[in-house]
Amino acid sequence: MSLKTNLHSLGEKLDSLSPSDGLALLSDLFPGKVIFSTSLGQEDQVITQLIAENLLDIHIFSLDTGRLFPETLDLIARTESKYKKRIEVLYPERTSVEKLVADIGINGFYDSVENRKSCCFVRKVEPLKRALAGNSVWVTGLRAEQSPNRADMKKIEWDEANQIIKFNPLLDWTYDQMIVYINENNIPYNPLHDKGFISIGCAPCTRAISEGEDPRAGRWWWEESKKECGLHIK
């Protein structure tokens, strides 16, 4: 199947399938070419459980930016232990990080949106591009209700920047639906979620939110921006 063509008909088929059946279909259509990027968030933990429990041929990887919470790193180990499946961990290029810090300072991302996006590019976007290269389908844990920027996304779409099909199996799930599934299936999750951290990224760029705040208000809270790092921009 050509990557960019027939997405509409494939999307119609996926809309009628459960997340696990959708993942199974794509792993059959693109054997050895489906890859899942997990940030260890609750959505991603659900997808990891679906992949592992159904023995799907989908490679799982995560990005260690060098600034993650210890709880996030510990969750990688707990997840691997529970599901007996290795999560590949990718790191930013050492020379790129050293140049970034030399240019803007160790915490220079607080000084401007431009600096913060430069940091995200070095620590997240570039390693992601390396991981996606040569694959056909990129699975993500995006949900439409996470932010206005994601509300108009489709379950399956063409990612022009990375030249890959992007599949968002939980796109139409609600937060409550996700929590029920996690509890019913005893899925390990980051303990920071129980302390008000709904969306968890790098430690210096994430804070807990108060009741009633937008779920992504704790990400880059000092900015007036679209609250995205560059991984999911069309």
pLDDT digits (tens, 9 = 90+) for 162-219: 999 999 999 999 999 999 999 999 999 999 999 999 999 999 999 999 988 888 889 9
Amino acid at 183: N
Q: What pLDDT digit, counting tens, does each position of 75-112 carry?
A: 999 999 999 999 999 999 999 999 999 999 999 999 99
Residue 14 in contact with residue 156, Cβ under 8 Å?
Answer: yes
Can you give the pLDDT at residue 216?
82
In contact, 124 and 100? CB cutoff 8 Å: no
Residue 102 lies in a domain: no
* 3-state DSSP helix/strand/coil % of the chain, to nearest 5: 45, 10, 45
Q: Would you call 229 a catalytic residue per the annotation?
A: yes
Does residue 220 sit within a domain?
A: no
Q: Please determine, for residue 232, whether its predicted confidence score (pLDDT) is greater than 60.
A: no
When the pLDDT of each residue in the chain is averaged and rounded to a whole number, the result is: 92
CA gap 33, 12 in Å, rounded: 21
| Residue 171 annotated as part of some ligand binding site | no
At 6 the pLDDT is: 82
Q: Which residue segment(s) compose the domain that 184 sits in?
A: 6-94+134-195
CATH code of 41's domain: 3.40.50.620
Does the annotation flag 15 for ligand binding? no
pLDDT, residue 150, reads: 66
Whether 85 maps to a domain, the answer reads yes
* The residue to which tokens 């639906």 are assigned: 177
Average pLDDT value for residue range 121-150: 92
- Domain assignment present for residue 108? The answer is no
The pair of three-digit structure tokens given for residue 74, joined into one six-digit string: 């510990």
3 has a pLDDT exceeding 90: no
0.85 surpassed by pTM:
yes
205 is in an annotated binding site: yes
Q: Is the pLDDT of residue 227 over 60?
A: no
Integer Cα distance of 92 and 140 in angstroms: 20
Say if 82 falls within a structural domain: yes
Looking only at the bridges linking them, the beta strands covering 137-139 and 164-167 are parallel
Assigned domain for 42 exists: yes
- In angstroms, the first-to-last Cα distance of the chain is 22
| Residue 145 marked in a binding site | no
> Judging by DSSP bridges, how do beta strands 156-159 and 34-37 pair with one another?
unpaired
Structural domain contains residue 181: yes
Check 10, 26, 229, 231 and give the catalytic one: 229
Would residue 113 count as lying in a domain?
Answer: no
pLDDT of residue 231: 57
- Total domain count, the chain: 1
Q: Which pLDDT score is estimated for 230?
A: 47
Quote the pLDDT of residue 27: 98
